[in-house]
Structure 1
Amino acid sequence: MSRFFTTGSDSESESSASGDELTPKPAGGNYSKPLLLSEDEEDTKRVVRSAKDKRSEELCSIIRALRNAMKIKDVSRCLEDFELLSRAFNKAKGVLEREGPPRFYIRILADLEDYLAELWEDKEGKRRMNKNNARALSSLRQKLRKHNREYEAQIAAYRQNPELSDEDEEKRSQDSEGSSPSPSSSGDEDDAGTFLKKRDEGRSRFLKGSASPSPSSGSGGGWGSSGSGSGSEEEDEGGEGKGTNLQLASRFLKRDEERRGGAERRRAERRRKRAPRSRREEEEDENEGGEWEKVKGGAPLVKEKPKMFAKGTEITPAVVLKKLNEILQARGKKGTDRAAQIELLQLLVAVANENGLGAALEIKIKFSIIASLYDYNPNLATYMKPELWQRCLSCIEELLDELFQHPEIFIGENILEESENLSNPDQPYRVRGCILTLVERMDEEFTKIMQNTDPHSQEYVEQLKDEARVCSIISRLQQYLQEQGSPEELCRVYLRRILHTYYKFDYGMAADGSEDSASLMDRLCKFIYAKDRTDRIRTCSILCHIYHHALHSRWYPARDLMLMSHLQDNIQHADPPVQILYNRTMVQLGICAFRQGLIKDAHNALLDIQSSGRAKELLGQGLLLRSLQERNPEQEKVEKRRQVPFHMHVNLELLECVYLVAAMLLEIPYMAAHEFDARRRMISKQFHHQLRVGERQPLLGPPESMREHVVAASKAMKMGDWRSCHRYVVNEKMNGKVWDLFPEADKVRAMLVRKIQEESLRTYLFTYSSVYDSISMEILSAMFELDLPTVHSIISKMIINEELMASLDQPTQTVQMHRTEPSAQQNLALQLAEKLGTLMENNERVLDHKQGSYGGYFRDQKDGYRKGDGGYLRRGGYRQQERGSNY
């Protein structure tokens, strides 16, 4: 410190060489230079920056933090930095508004938009993202979209020519010694280090002009020796000592500047030499000094194929089998490259084929390939990627081809590895493996793929096209097992064939005259009924058979099979997938009964599903929000794996409409017949709930939803207005939502009209029977547009069932009403008497409870003990006797 800041002879000699003539010394002997300014204060006074530089440096520092957050995928931090960047840019608009938004600002907006688009499209990454990042991703996406509307033209121009900023940066790095352009005028200054370098260059340039070293300092190329001969203002004001300090500081700053300039030149040289990469990769190289390199989307690296055997090795079945065991030993171990393992196995098949080692060895290796494809995703909940799925289908088809070409090769999962014969032609070939298990796993993977695909996208349609390929594989396996398999294996493959057939409607015989779906289902199911030894396969086949009958309107075979199977007695003990299948079968059975006009049977079949309010969950077509809150994540994953794919769904709106219309046809006549009955029971609680909801509405407008249409039709039927009821149930909107979805829609609509007419007639007779003394059946026939025999039949049934107190007069074709029913006043009086009796009993019960019990008996104030109707009340285990009768 004394060397730099004291008044020794060295410093005086150095300063006298440069500033002795220009700077006069004050009078006095010893002159000491005080240290007036600290280093920070010197920097503040020395560096002069414009407002544009300050604002640009602030923006660049925020951009650097934002890019770091983007690299580590911290979306919540990205949101905070973007908000800071927006506020900082709004402050800098006054300074930068002449030249418009700088290019580095447009660049970060474009890159951030691409980054968010990648995150948004990555469904798997969004699923693994935590809640804070997921919430921040949605918020940041909306804010950025709103913010970028103002700069759409600039962003589009940048996307068309994104390399312009790199060219400008190269020119700037080459000419950095001669000039220092402002950040806004440069092409793409998005790194705060560039501005810091410019600030240091300006500082060193200022210092070089203010204090040039003397020749005696010995500064060569390493310290720098540039500067003007004239003295600076600071030297004039502060004296010699300060000039020396600034001179020494400039030496250090000069060396630092040259080091940075050299690094910039080397970086520019590397950039010119290497091939042009994507814009984002170059930006990461600039900001991080080449530490990170992103190769996604670039040219694929050429990998050498691994050498299976040493050069000159004789390829024999034993050598290939040993190599196969080596590859399989790494299966399932941590760190094993599954993709490389599959490639090795495929290469091993090619080697075996080239050397003609026999079909048995190739079949064994192909078994291992398919198993490795299934093991590629260790998590059971994940589904196979499209490329793996297609490879899996191709491998299974190739394996089936080999099995059909070589029927002499025996395959079984019970064969021990020691007893395998893969190469000896003198003995029968035996290979350990089970093709049925592989096909069953393939079918399960197809179900998982359909469950995890958006059902409203074109991708779902493309994936569904693979079902024909899956069914073809199952059909070929069925042919193979019919010759080579056991009855148990045949039952399993038949069930797979049934599960892909039972829910499909057969629109007619095939053009080639092949077997139709009804005979196919009948043949497969009867074989399972006779040969199966497990209850589960038989139960599933029975339910699928009933479903297929009901789907094709074969009501009586479906009903008889359901009643004979007695499945409804023990179905609660079955596993959840079988219970879901049972619910789907009952729903289809109810819809079939409705199409046949069997309203009561339809209502009974649909009652349990619809009354629970959880039809969506019970049918395996989705989870309710309230049930999701009651489950942990593991249970939720299990429930999602049980869901039925979308193409097998039952239309829930159609199901609810069928149930409500059936309830309306049953409930409205029953309500009219028991209008004054206090003990009347509800047939359908859900239907009554919809009626109450409609009654609560303060303003009744025209019906819009399906439920509102049914409620409006019920009110019209109550009044006996069957035409209005028919218009509400069958109209253009309801046809599009419900009735057109049936296979024979015209028959269903005709059945509905007839049922509405008949039930409206019954409701009319129940409601207005007390008003008429007699009524002509011809008038009723004209009112409800029914033929006379139908009216006669309906009224006769009502009289026989004692629902209507009347008699028929055949000569006059009239209905004579009998006044045996109580009038409205009498009914009200009866209801009042019943309610008063109930109230009195309740009061007595409360009074007895307040007085208390003694010794197990209720004490009465008058008689000591209160008597019941047939003796004393039995309390406390005692028995009392009255009038010789034991109780």
Structure 2
Amino acid sequence: TVVKSAKDKRFDELEGTIRLIENAQKINDWSVINDNYDKLNRQLPVLQRDNDGKAPKMYIKTIADLETAMLEALEKQKGKKMNPIAAKGLNAMRQKIRKNNRDHEADIKAYRDSPDDFMKDDVVEAPTAPAPKKAKKALIDETIVGADDDGFTVVGAGGKATTYTPESILKHLRTIVESRGRKNTDRLEQIRTLEKLLDVAATEYQKARVLLTLVSTRFDLTSGSGNTMAQEQWKLVQQEIAALLALLEEHPYLVVIENAEDWEDDEKHPTITSEETFKIPGSIVSLVERLDDELTRVLQAVDPHTAEYVERLSDEASLYTNIVRTQLYCERLAKDEKLNFVQETANRIVMRRLEHIYFKPSQVIDILEENVWKALPASLDSSVTPRSAAGDSSALVTAICTYLYTHSEGIIRARAMLCQVYYLALHDQYYKARDMLLMSHLQETISGFDVNTQILFNRTLTQVGLCAFRAGLVYEAQNSLQDICGSQRQKELLAQGLQMQRYSQITPEQERIERQRQLPFHMHV
């Protein structure tokens, strides 16, 4: 048996990680490469300590070859659709490699100039005497004296000082983005850092980048399945999204869009002029959808018969304003053909708007719309739902649904139709609602849709039955309601509660999913 030293074992582990990366390269699996690349960099500090502070040559060879492979993969990917998981891994690797390889530029250049000479054994050099350590207090004083007057310096644990200046914003953002999702990350500390960065941001581009990262980081506070977002954090996110939209409205040459390329150079800020559109990667629609989902989760968890429920429900007004404002932003992007704006994105936000109003009485919708247009700048208007038509809820619902019928298909189109039928039935227009439901032929195809759309279908059918009953059409009411009323699971079918059977085989995971589907109390039929 060969007994290996701890140093040899560590180098064996490094070789094993490199082999895994090389094997994944052969099958173009960038997700596996990404995971093992992180592992490789975690092994590096100990290996450098064993190697007189130098990175092992096999490590340099691997990261240099990886950069070449990444550039080739990106070139091949152009114009082709890639596996989403592999594409995510490749994009993550692009950012990590460029940042990491800057620290080893000289070694990588030496390897590329002459790979064979570089990989020869190291020449053993006489060890140099270590520099005398400075006292901790002297280090702190030196760092603080050297801080830039344009920003401000924060001294953290152990006397480590961090300076926040406009020039360092992109570096700090990169560090925060790369640490997202890792264990033992102090998210509250990240939020405090981002708030400081927002204070020192000097340009509109910097403010937009910080706001996008700040909103995403606040959402990370409630990434667990059972958590709900604190009201204070929810309101801050709502205000930050509103501030971001106001910034983009005021400076239309800045555009936050999903198909934009990330700015890679943290040392140099981009040159932006008002004559030329500059794209920032991000999705405001996704942020507003998440804000909406977080409020729904809170309303599901709170007792509906308490003052707290009413208080949280009042937040819907500011949320609805953000939804309408995001719709107007999407309309503006859709008009510019050069941006290649994805229509599906606009459909999603318009659908969210419809889902907030279809179950409300017309008087409530009219007040909600009036308050929204008062809150928005007078210069903003919509081609889909004009400001001038704000007082007519029926025309509003019709305009939104007509837009979705024209521009969408599949689930969104079906949901729009069901929402319009529900609205008509709620406002005692039985024959219109019935005819539209029959012409949609959704009764024949609804079993092929997702569970949430099936729940919406059940709600709509129930509302049509109640509308018939209010009109004195008892036979028609019975026809509409018999399927729901004849079942032992009315609450589940309408997502208005769970009915636990005595000998049910439901697992805790299934029960959790069912609870997530429940509608907040104010939406119940």
Q: TM-score, normalised by structure 1?
A: 0.37
Matches of 2:322 and 2:187 in 1, distance apart?
A: 26
> For structure 1, which segment, 629-638 or 505-514, has the greater mean C-alpha deviation from structure 2 after superposition?
505-514
Other-structure match for 1:399: 244
| Residue number among 354, 357, 366 corresponding to 1:501 in the alignment | 357
Q: Conserved in 2, the CA contact under 8 Å of 1:381 and 1:641?
A: no
Q: Tell me, which stretches of 5 or more residues in structure 1 are unaligned?
A: 1-303, 651-887
**Displacement of 1:617:** 1.2
Other-structure match for 2:291: 442
Matches of 2:428 and 2:509 in 1, distance apart?
A: 40
Deviation digits for residues 214-233 of structure 1, max 9, x if unmatched? xxxxxxxxxxxxxxxxxxxx
Other-structure match for 1:430: 279
1:489 aligns with 2:364: no
| Residue number among 305, 323, 330 corresponding to 2:179 in the alignment | 330
Matches of 1:507 and 1:409 in 2, distance apart?
A: 38
Deviation digits for residues 139-188 of structure 1, max 9, x if unmatched? xxxxxxxxxxxxxxxxxxxxxxxxxxxxxxxxxxxxxxxxxxxxxxxxxx
Other-structure match for 2:444: 569
1:536 aligns with 2:381: no
Matches of 2:166 and 2:214 in 1, distance apart?
A: 20
Q: Conserved in 1, the CA contact under 8 Å of 2:422 and 2:433?
A: yes
Matches of 1:399 and 1:335 in 2, distance apart?
A: 29
Sequence identity, in percent? 37
**Counterparts of 1:696-845 in structure 2 under 5 Å?**
none
1:637 aligns with 2:512: yes
Matches of 1:628 and 1:449 in 2, distance apart?
A: 30
**Displacement of 1:544:** 0.4
Other-structure match for 2:254: 409
Partner AA of 2:243 in structure 1: E
Other-structure match for 1:463: 312
Matches of 2:522 and 2:365 in 1, distance apart?
A: 22
Q: Tell me, which stretches of 5 or more residues in structure 2 are unaligned?
A: 1-152, 335-340, 371-388
**Displacement of 1:365:** 1.1
Matches of 2:233 and 2:365 in 1, distance apart?
A: 36
| Residue number among 330, 342, 366 corresponding to 2:191 in the alignment | 342
Deviation digits for residues 669-719 of structure 1, max 9, x if unmatched? xxxxxxxxxxxxxxxxxxxxxxxxxxxxxxxxxxxxxxxxxxxxxxxxxxx
Deviation digits for residues 584-605 of structure 1, max 9, x if unmatched? 0000000011111211111000
Structure number with the bigger relative contact order (C-alpha 8 A, sep ≥ 6) is 2
Q: Rate the CA distance shift 1:463–1:509 in 2: closer, same or farther, 3 A.
A: closer
**Displacement of 1:514:** 2.6
Deviation digits for residues 583-629 of structure 1, max 9, x if unmatched? 00000000011111211111000000000121111100000121784
1:547 aligns with 2:422: yes
Partner AA of 1:501 in structure 2: I
Q: Conserved in 1, the CA contact under 8 Å of 2:258 and 2:281?
A: yes
Q: Rate the CA distance shift 1:456–1:316 in 2: closer, same or farther, 3 A.
A: closer
Deviation digits for residues 637-693 of structure 1, max 9, x if unmatched? 10000001000112xxxxxxxxxxxxxxxxxxxxxxxxxxxxxxxxxxxxxxxxxxx
Matches of 1:477 and 1:519 in 2, distance apart?
A: 21
Q: Rate the CA distance shift 1:565–1:460 in 2: closer, same or farther, 3 A.
A: same
**Displacement of 1:312:** 11
Q: Rate the CA distance shift 1:369–1:591 in 2: closer, same or farther, 3 A.
A: same
**Displacement of 1:394:** 1.6
Over 3 Å off, 4+ runs: 304-317, 418-423, 507-513
**Displacement of 1:515:** 3.2
Q: Rate the CA distance shift 1:567–1:351 in 2: closer, same or farther, 3 A.
A: same
Partner AA of 2:480 in structure 1: A
Matches of 1:498 and 1:306 in 2, distance apart?
A: 49
Matches of 1:380 and 1:443 in 2, distance apart?
A: 16
Other-structure match for 1:105: none
Q: Rate the CA distance shift 1:570–1:589 in 2: closer, same or farther, 3 A.
A: same
Q: Rate the CA distance shift 1:628–1:584 in 2: closer, same or farther, 3 A.
A: farther
**Displacement of 1:397:** 1.5
Deviation digits for residues 75-126 of structure 1, max 9, x if unmatched? xxxxxxxxxxxxxxxxxxxxxxxxxxxxxxxxxxxxxxxxxxxxxxxxxxxx
Matches of 1:616 and 1:455 in 2, distance apart?
A: 16
Matches of 1:645 and 1:564 in 2, distance apart?
A: 30
Matches of 1:642 and 1:374 in 2, distance apart?
A: 20
Q: Conserved in 2, the CA contact under 8 Å of 1:422 and 1:429?
A: no
Partner AA of 1:506 in structure 2: S
Q: Conserved in 1, the CA contact under 8 Å of 2:497 and 2:518?
A: yes
Q: Conserved in 2, the CA contact under 8 Å of 1:502 and 1:521?
A: yes
Matches of 2:162 and 2:312 in 1, distance apart?
A: 46
Matches of 2:479 and 2:175 in 1, distance apart?
A: 62
| Residue number among 311, 324, 327 corresponding to 1:475 in the alignment | 324
Q: Rate the CA distance shift 1:509–1:376 in 2: closer, same or farther, 3 A.
A: closer
SS at match of 2:501: helix
Q: Conserved in 2, the CA contact under 8 Å of 1:594 and 1:602?
A: yes
SS at match of 1:379: coil
**Displacement of 1:492:** 1.1
**Displacement of 1:419:** 7.3
Other-structure match for 2:215: 370
**Displacement of 1:418:** 4.1
SS at match of 1:625: coil
Matches of 2:494 and 2:481 in 1, distance apart?
A: 12
Q: TM-score, normalised by structure 2?
A: 0.61
Q: Rate the CA distance shift 1:618–1:484 in 2: closer, same or farther, 3 A.
A: same
SS at match of 1:500: helix
Matches of 2:164 and 2:221 in 1, distance apart?
A: 32
**Displacement of 1:541:** 0.6
SS at match of 1:333: coil
**Displacement of 1:316:** 4.8
Matches of 2:451 and 2:348 in 1, distance apart?
A: 19
Partner AA of 1:490 in structure 2: A
SS at match of 1:612: coil
Structure showing greater radius of gyration is 1
1:518 aligns with 2:394: yes
**Displacement of 1:380:** 2.7
Deviation digits for residues 399-426 of structure 1, max 9, x if unmatched? 1111111111022112121479963025
Other-structure match for 2:93: none
Partner AA of 1:448 in structure 2: R
SS at match of 2:357: coil
Partner AA of 1:580 in structure 2: I
1:359 aligns with 2:204: yes
**Counterparts of 1:277-292 in structure 2 under 5 Å?**
none
Number of aligned pairs?
341
Partner AA of 1:500 in structure 2: H
